[in-house]
Amino acid sequence: MFSIPLRDTAELRPLEPWRAEEFAAHMDRARDHIRPWVGSAFVTEDLAGAEATLRRYAEKQAADGARLYGIWLDGVLVGGVMFASFNAPGGSCELGCWLEPSAEGRGLITDGCRILADWAFRARGLHRVEWLCRADNARSAAVAERLGMRSEGVIRESWPFEGKRYDKEVWSVLAHEWNAVSPAR
């Protein structure tokens, strides 16, 4: 088990299956707020769904794939950051995030994603870190910008939500760009 301090009383920790009850309680607080912005398979409705989601990511991590990290603020799970995909042989990954409204505006997502991107580039030697978000999600796009990513364009009407299709924006940062702006920790 590890914990990485973020800001003030916030920390980043692995989000594993044994934390399903805590994750389910967190989803009860965050569900309606995050539903439009994250994949539908991630937004769980109950404890069984929380267990299944955390188990699915644990299995992916065991195969050197996607993985989840929770953000705890004052000892309470309030959100997290993730490798939505992780392809070491291909040299790329996708970052993602989610957060309860009560924890917004503190820089926690940017700090957590910076830690993940730095690990992907420096420890794992990846070449590319991506960020995908609905094109109308200004808060998400702002995180990508703070991470030094460039917008690569829009995939039109590729994000279905409640019977409507939204555009998806693609952002990325490459290893040589990251190394130029983010000194080694």
pLDDT given for residue 30 in this prediction: 92
| Residue 16 belongs to domain with CATH number | 3.40.630.30
pLDDT given for residue 52 in this prediction: 95
> Total structural domains in the chain?
1
What is the band of 184 on the pLDDT scale with cuts at 50, 70, 90? low
Residue 120, pLDDT above cutoff 90? yes
pLDDT digits (tens, 9 = 90+) for 2-58: 899 998 899 999 999 999 999 999 999 999 888 888 877 788 889 999 999 999 999
Residue 185, pLDDT above cutoff 60? no
Phi, psi torsion values for 173, nearest 5 degrees:
-135, 140
Residue 60, pLDDT above cutoff 70? yes
**pTM for this predicted structure:** 0.94
Q: Which domain holds residue 38?
A: 4-181
pLDDT given for residue 1 in this prediction: 61
pLDDT digits (tens, 9 = 90+) for 67-102: 999 999 999 999 999 999 999 999 999 999 999 999
pLDDT digits (tens, 9 = 90+) for 122-159: 999 999 999 999 999 999 999 999 999 999 999 999 98
